Amino acid sequence: MITTNLAPPEMLAAIPFDPPTGTGKSYEELGGLVDKVLLHAVRTGHPKYFNQLWSESDPMAVLGEWLSTTLNCTMYTYEVAGMFLFIEKAVLKRMREKVGWADGGGDGLLCPGGSVCNLQALSFARHNKFPDTKETGLFGLPRMVIFTSAEAHYSIKKGAFTCGFGTDSVIAVECDAVGRMDPAKLEAAVEAQVALGHVPLMVQATAGTTVRGAYDPLNPIADICEKHGMWLHIDGAWGAPVLLSEKYRGLMAGAERADSITWDGHKMLGTPQQCAVLLLKSSDGLPAQCNGVKASYLFQPDKPFAELDTGDNHIQCGRRNDVLKFWMAWQALGDVGYAKRVDTLLDLARYMADQIEKRAADGFVLTVQPACSNVCFFHIPEFLRSDPIAVEMLKTGNPDILKTDAAAGFVEKCKKVPPQVKMKMMEEGSMMCGFQPDHGLPNHWRFIISNPRTTEADLDEALNIIARLGDTCAPAE
């Protein structure tokens, strides 16, 4: 089982959540709490955990996590971080080499999550264009606008209001049929904003969208950024690890033209949460220029090895040693092992897509061919399979019929099925996967394959579980 998945009232009854008001618990009682935690927590390392963009942790990365937590060093100065700053430099340099920047040059930060990486990239883009905003703020400046894919991660909007631009300054650019930003639509959107007197600040392209795993076409986007003097940021939190693979790195052709790239180690690469990296092409000290305030009680310029301190590069002060676990896994796997991991995950996605296309008779319809290791599809349960819309959809393998007015009644029935199936799935603890509407389509399944221990047999069984539980649904439910 992936989890006992108790309903909230049952979970509240099963575990004494409130800390004791008097003396603490004994070791025996604490051992009982540990047992309860292990029993009732979701087992994200299970080979049929497909719910989010991460799963099993690499064993050596877990060891690195244990070491960093035990040593409890923070990362702002050399005197307390010591060797870990050299580890950080080595990992960031290798990642920049994989991007294709000359000699691995540039800069980089580890941040608490991909959303913070994207926020920091936006802040760097602003400082690069208008460095005086660090002292004077946005007062008196023209409106700055940010362009991103209509299927981009929601963190770009959070970054926009946190940086003072407001969500209205985020322009969502239409995508093509497979979920990639349309460069022609981007060019038109930029020109429209320029005509209004606004300053085009940044384009955030996506390498591996959250739902479909789509990769935006980077070279045409980079051309537009160069033409209009915009910062090009790539949110590759999920999909950037293809840069480690000779087989799949072409999905990010043009990545070397970016100004910054978000790349999470805690997603496809199996590092325990959290381990998010922002890579910068610039090596001119932009992070410290943007974030530094030179606190005299921490960053004394006359102390030994002060030139190695990194704290002023970050918006944080105290910062976890998140790099050690990533480094330990990379030491164990090497470039070759990481490339194999990425290849395995994307190969499995293509296998699953092939099986879905072969099982139309069981009600399966693929929504889009996978680019990353996301697999999106419909399963039409038995009670809906005789509907004329379902018949046509299964015959053609094209779900776009669901976007027509004639399909409205069928769509209302169809979209209610995945929530029912997910509840059944959670109750029996057999599997975890997600569903959502997307790209004008109603609720459909999204499998994220991120565990290299998952096998083709696991994927076959996963489809069988969807079919079995789906076919138990009925119109009355």
Query: What is the rounded distance in angstroms from the CA atom of residue 77 to the CA atom of residue 317?
Result: 10
| Percent helix / strand / coil, the chain, rounded to 5 | 50, 15, 40
Domains in the chain: boundaries: 74-320, 334-470
Residue 189: what pLDDT? Answer: 98
Query: What is the rounded distance in angstroms from the CA atom of residue 324 to the CA atom of residue 328?
Result: 6
Name residues whose C-beta falls within 8 Å of residue 375's C-beta, 6 or more positions apart in sequence: 349, 352, 353, 356, 366, 445, 446, 447, 449
Percent of the chain exceeding pLDDT 70 equals 100
Q: Grade residue 302 by pLDDT with cuts at 50, 70 and 90.
A: confident
Per-residue pLDDT of 178-197, as tens digits, reads 999 999 999 999 999 999 99
Residue 475: what pLDDT? Answer: 73
Angle, CA of 174, 238 and 321, to the nearest 5°: 135
Assess contact for 76 and 308: CB atoms under 8 A. Answer: no
Q: What is the mean pLDDT of the chain?
A: 94
Which of 40, 39, 37, 38 lies closest to 8 in space, CA to CA?
40
Angle, CA of 469, 472 and 473, to the nearest 5°: 100
Query: What is the rounded distance in angstroms from the CA atom of residue 418 to the CA atom of residue 401?
Result: 19
Residue 295: what pLDDT? Answer: 82
Per-residue pLDDT of 375-386, as tens digits, reads 999 999 999 999
Per-residue pLDDT of 250-275, as tens digits, reads 999 999 999 999 999 999 999 999 99
pLDDT at 104 over 60: yes
Edge-to-edge order in the sheet of strand 231-235: 107-111, 276-280, 260-264, 231-235, 199-206, 144-149, 170-173
pTM: 0.95
Query: What is the rounded distance in angstroms from the CA atom of residue 194 to the CA atom of residue 203?
Result: 14
Average pLDDT over residues 363-369: 96
Joined together, the tokens standing for residue 303 give: 């102390």
Residue 2: what pLDDT? Answer: 80
Query: What is the rounded distance in angstroms from the CA atom of residue 432 to the CA atom of residue 43?
Result: 10
Query: pLDDT: is 148 or 294 the higher one?
Result: 148
Name residues whose C-beta falls within 8 Å of residue 1's C-beta, 6 or more positions apart in sequence: 43, 428, 429, 430
Per-residue pLDDT of 138-166, as tens digits, reads 998 999 999 999 999 999 999 999 999 99
Per-residue pLDDT of 22-67, as tens digits, reads 999 999 999 999 999 999 999 999 999 999 999 989 999 999 999 9
pLDDT at 1 over 90: no
Query: In a 10 Å sphere around its CB, with 0-12 CB exposed, 13-18 middle and 19+ buried, how is residue 392 labelled?
Result: middle
Edge-to-edge order in the sheet of strand 374-379: 49-50, 432-438, 441-448, 374-379, 364-366
Name residues whose C-beta falls within 8 Å of residue 389's C-beta, 6 or more positions apart in sequence: 401, 402, 406, 407, 410
Average pLDDT over residues 404-414: 94
Assess contact for 434 and 50: CB atoms under 8 A. Answer: yes
SS3 label, residue 37: helix
Other beta carbons within 10 Å of 176: 14
Fold (CATH) for 74-320: Aspartate Aminotransferase; domain 2 (3.40.640)
Q: Grade residue 300 by pLDDT with cuts at 50, 70 and 90.
A: confident
Residue 476: what pLDDT? Answer: 55
The CATH code of the domain at 334-470 is 3.90.1150.170
| E-assigned strand segments in 92-158 | 107-111, 144-149
Across the chain, how many H-helices and E-strands are there? 16, 12
